[in-house]
């Protein structure tokens, strides 16, 4: 599939490499064209070669690429980072040190990077992963959130589900949501979906869903329910939100991380 390219903000491009055959999610990366160009969330290894072709279509000299920044090193976000870094001579891979062991020695961590007309502020955003970061763009007042503000599925584009794949920390996830909301972004660049401007509404929804999941699971554990019973309660709640739409796979699979966390922290819940 040819890469689909959209200009979604000033010198900010969405590169859609189609659906990943393994993760069954959209391979979406963001390219920031500036004096020091940046590629955010290069996606899985299967998307990496297509991304190279897509940037060529933009007329960009790939050897100018300065940074490759996966928000975290799960394969659907950072799997292609090493591939790209090895084939391009200049870019540095920026990520949290806890994720550095999974990539090459080109990794480096910075708190902020001035690219010319824009500055990227890097925010530590744990919960979904201990090494997760988000990026706030001064030029577009936009937030590249990775999976820190939930997953938007095609079947449920207005319901951001928390992505609770184990290991997962729902308390840190809630703290991250509040931290990112305090930045007051004007647009959120969702991974696997695209940019959205109804920021307060979506952040409020993902927080409400997180709190509801917490309550359902804690009550279930206190009542002596097993994992299957608790999972079914969450699926029933989620189905009501979905309004008969098909629940995304990530919403179903992600329940396990929530339950495991509260099983392990039962005495502190």
Strand, helix or coil for residue 224: coil
What domains are there in the chain, each with its CATH number?
Answer: 4-206 (3.60.15.10)
Q: For residue range 94-134, what is the model confidence (pLDDT) as tens digits?
A: 876 665 555 543 334 445 667 888 999 999 999 988 889 99
Angle between the N-to-C axes of helices 199-222 and 255-264, in degrees from 0 to 180, rounded to the nearest 10: 50
Is the pLDDT score of 226 beyond 80? yes
The closest of 64, 66, 32, 62 to 48, measured between CA atoms, is 62
Is the pLDDT score of 77 beyond 80? no
d(CA 76, CA 27) in angstroms, rounded, equals: 8
Listing DSSP states for 11-80 in one string gives TEEEEEEEE-TTT-SEEEEEEE-SSS-EEE----HHHHHHHHHHHHHTT--GGG--EEE-SS-SHHHHTT
Specify the pTM.
Answer: 0.86
Q: In whole angstroms, what separates CA 232 from the centre of its chain?
A: 26
Q: For residue range 7-22, what is the model confidence (pLDDT) as tens digits?
A: 999 999 998 887 766 5
204 vs 42 pLDDT, higher one: 204
Handedness of CA 19, 168, 134, 235 (dihedral sign): positive
234 Cβ contact partners less than 8 Å away, ≥ 6 residues apart: 213, 216, 217, 255, 258
Handedness of CA 4, 28, 248, 178 (dihedral sign): negative
Overall average pLDDT of the 176-188 stretch: 97
Strand, helix or coil for residue 225: coil
Q: Lowest-confidence range among 3-12, 36-45, 56-65, 108-117?
A: 108-117
Strand 142-146 with 107-108, pairing: unpaired
């Amino acid at each position: 599939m040819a890469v689909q390219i959209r200009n979604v903000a000033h010198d900010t491009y969405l590169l859609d490499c189609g659906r990943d055959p393994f993760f069954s999610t959209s391979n979406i990366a963001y390219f920031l064209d500036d004096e020091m160009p940046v590629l955010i969330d290069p996606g899985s290894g299967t998307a990496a070669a297509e991304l190279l072709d897509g940037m060529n279509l933009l007329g960009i000299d790939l050897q100018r690429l300065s940074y490759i920044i996966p928000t975290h090193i799960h394969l659907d976000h950072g799997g292609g980072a090493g591939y790209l870094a090895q084939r391009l001579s200049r870019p540095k891979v920026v990520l949290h040190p806890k994720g550095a062991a999974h990539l090459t020695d080109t990794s480096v961590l910075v708190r902020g990077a001035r690219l010319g007309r824009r500055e990227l502020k890097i925010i530590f955003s744990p919960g979904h992963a201990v090494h997760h970061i988000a990026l706030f763009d001064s030029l577009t007042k936009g937030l590249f959130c990775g999976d820190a503000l939930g997953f938007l599925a095609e079947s449920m584009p207005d319901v951001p589900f928390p992505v609770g794949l184990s290991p997962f920390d729902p308390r840190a996830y809630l703290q991250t949501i509040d931290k990112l909301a305090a930045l007051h972004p004007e647009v959120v660049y969702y991974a696997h979906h695209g940019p959205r401007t109804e920021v307060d509404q979506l952040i409020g929804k993902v927080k409400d869903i997180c709190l509801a999941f917490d309550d359902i699971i804690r009550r279930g554990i206190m009542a002596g329910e097993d994992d299957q019973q608790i999972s079914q309660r969450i699926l029933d709640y989620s189905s009501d939100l979905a309004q008969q739409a098909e629940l995304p796979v990530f919403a179903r699979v992600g329940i396990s991380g929530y339950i495991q966390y509260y099983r392990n922290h039962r005495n502190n819940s």
